[in-house]
Every structure is written in C-alpha cells, then in structure tokens.
Chains A and B, each alone.
Chain A
Amino acid sequence: MNVLIFGCGRTGAALALQLAKTHTVTVIEQNPEAVRRLGQRHNCKVVIGSGIDEDTLLRAGIAQTDAFFAVTRGDNTNLMAAQVAKINYNVKHICVRVADPNRAQAYKDLGMYCITPALIIAGMMRDWVTDSPYESIDVYNNLPKELEVL
C-alpha cells in the first residue's frame, strides 16, 4: 500500500516508522528539522512542503496514494489537506487528526474519518480509574454529551 503522511510530529513519525516496515511510506513536513524524528536509518520518502499545496502533494505521489493521514497539529490544516486528497485525488482511505472534539464531529457528519486524541485518552483514563473494561477506539472517539455545544 502507498501511504502518505502529512505532519512529522510524534504521531506522524511513529506512524511512518511502523508502517514503513511493510508499506511504501511518504512523509510531508514543512519543517526540515522535524524530519529528524524519523532517525538516521528510516526508509520513508520525505517531501518538504505543505499538504495543502497541490504541487507538494503531487511531488509526494498523491495520485498513487492508497491511504492519507493528516496529522499536523493544525486542525484546519489537516481538514483542508484531507479534503483536497478526497475531492481532488479521490484517495480511498483518509484519516484526519482533529484536536477540537466539536469540530471533529462536524466533519464526521460530512463523512470524514476524524480521530480526536483527547477523547480517546480521557475515555481510557476514565475506564482505568473506575476499573471498567476498555471499550473500542470508536466508542472513545465519539463526542461525549458533556462536550456538546449544539
């Protein structure tokens, strides 16, 4: 599978290094310094640039990408990149990191697969301290009533 990861922070680097064992991985990152997280001996292709810039996406092989991950720390950057990948390049599997739970919900309603790390962590911690059995990630990832704004 051709995997394209936008954002080489801790999440992006961990994802890239693990997937690169069995898949072809390309990483897009704006900051050349951040690419160091991949270490010396990785076998990922690295493209310096922004995942909302179509020239950069094309250089990174978006046209042949099977799975696209938008995992920068900018929710809006991730959401825009994911929509470019979906609408303009018809990428099959798209996963977006969205830190804001309500924003994530709005885009889930539009059919995007959004992951909100804070919800997963909070849910797991709640179940750990109350000695409840752990639930599936998708359950944790749902917007809890307590946070609903609308």
Chain B
Amino acid sequence: MYLILVGGGNVGMQLAKKLIQRGHEVLLMEKDSRQALRLATVLGEDSVFVGDGCEIATQKQAGFNRADAVVAVTGEDEDNLVVCQMAKVVWNVQRVLARVNDPTHEAIFKKVGVDQTVSATSLIFSLLDQQITTDEFIPVGALAKGNIEIVETVLSQRSPVVGKSVREISLPTQTNIVWIIRKEQGVLVSGDTELMAGDTILALVPGDQADALRDILVAKV
C-alpha cells in the first residue's frame, strides 16, 4: 500500500515509523525543511517529502494520484481538512483520514466527506469519563413502541440502593426490577433480595419514568 501522511510532527513521525515497519510504502510530507531533515535521519530520505501538502503542485509530485490512503495529521484542523478534501475531490483517493484537534470540528470533517477522523482529545476524554463515572445507565431495548424501556445498570459502591432490599426501594410507578446478574449468575428478584455493589440490574420502566429510576439507582457524580 502507498500511504501519504501530511504533517511531520510527533504524530506523523511515529505513525510513519510504524507503517514503514509494517512494510508499507510511506511518504511523510513536511513543509518546514529543517524539521524534514530531522525526519529523514529517522525515517530515511525516501520516506520524507519537503513541501506544503495543501498545494496541488506538491500533491502531484508526491503522487496523490496513486495513494491508497492519505492521512492528515498536522496540528491545525483547517490544514487537515483541506488536505483531506483535496485528496478526495481532486485526486479521488479511496481512504482519507484526519486528525482532528478540536473535537467540535469532527462533524464538519464528516460532512465534507472525510472517511475517518481521530481526536486525541475525544479519546482521552472518553477514557477518563469511563474511569470517573462508573454508574452508567444503559437503555438495552424498548417495548410497546418505546413506551416501555429495558434498562441496565451496574451498581457501584456509591449507589444509594446498595445494602437495601428491593422492598425498601420506592421505585417509580409500573417499574419492575426483573433480573439481577451477580457474579455472572442470574438472581431471581423478590422483595427480600438485597442489592449489592457490582450487581447488574435489569429493569422494565415506562419511558417517561426512566430518568426517575436512574436517580434512584445511580450515584450522583
């Protein structure tokens, strides 16, 4: 595969290194000639191209017309957007990927036809988010055209219902805890069943009561 990367910062260099190790033909484009020189000592001269990846003349020299994929990884979203768009529109490149620095820009990249975007900010945020908030309340399915929802949540230590029996919890109207999964075993629920941290709760709840149920089962952040 012939892969063209635009932007010879840290991301571009490390990515190029890995792709070369995999045996791909890689060209890393960098407009700053001094930085390009540094890159050439690491990656080899044949894998580095000095020039502005946003210019059609440079793209032509770099061989955009035969690239299997173009990857834009500069630190500027506007540059990445234009590189990708030109790769698609002018050179008809099949796979076009962009690094997006400001996650709010991901939508516009998709809308102009960039196949795939990666945002380090979004990735780190979602990892952090998972670690900080363990109390997820997941809609699993819907019955009766969405009037009834099936929801799932795992009780954390901090859940206000841990240690209580089902009878002690005042559930919203017409709501039922139908199943508890504890240590990978199903537990039949009765009024006496005591809820424990780590339990996966499956409940049936009217659509308009789902938020109320969440407030009862899930610890506030």
Contact call B60/A149, Cβ cutoff below 8 A: yes
Q: Is the pair A75, B90 in contact by a Cβ cutoff of 8 Å?
A: no
Task: Count A-B contacts at CB 8 Å.
Answer: 57
Interface residues on B, range: 20 to 34
- Given contacts A76-B82, A88-B107, A102-B55, 6 further A-B pairs with CB under 8 A are A79-B78, A79-B82, A80-B78, A87-B111, A87-B112, A106-B56
CB <8 Å contact, A76 and B86: no
Asked whether A80 lies within 8 Å of B90 as measured between CB atoms, the reply is no
CB distance from B142 to the nearest CB of A (A): 31
Report B-chain residues with C-beta under 8 Å of the C-beta of A83: 81, 108, 112
CA–CA, A100 to B83, complex, Å? Answer: 14
Check if A84 is an interface residue, CB within 8 A of chain B: yes
Interface string of B38-60 (1 = CB under 8 A from A): 00000000000000001111001
User: Which of A52, A76, A84, A149 gathers the greatest number of chain B CB atoms within 10 Å?
Assistant: A76
Question: Across the interface, do B56 and A103 meet the contact criterion of CB distance under 8 Å?
Answer: yes
Q: Measured between alpha carbons, how far is A104 from B104 in the docked complex, in Å? A: 26
Bound complex: CA A149 to CA B105 (Å): 30
Would A54 and B56 be within 8 Å (CB), given that A74-B78, A80-B82, A110-B89 are in contact? no
Interchain CB contact under 8 A, A75 and B60: no
Determine the distance from Cα of A67 to Cα of B112 in the docked complex, in whole angstroms: 21
Return the chain B residue nearest A77 by Cβ.
Answer: B78
B interface SS class? helix
B81 touches A80 (CB 8 A): yes
Contact of B76 among A54, A76, A110 (CB under 8 A): A76
| A109 touches B (CB below 8 Å) | yes
Question: Can you show 24 pairs from A to B with CB atoms below 8 A apart?
Answer: A52-B77, A52-B105, A53-B102, A54-B104, A74-B78, A76-B76, A76-B81, A77-B78, A79-B82, A80-B82, A80-B108, A83-B108, A83-B112, A84-B108, A87-B111, A88-B108, A88-B111, A100-B55, A103-B56, A106-B86, A109-B89, A149-B57, A150-B60, A150-B90
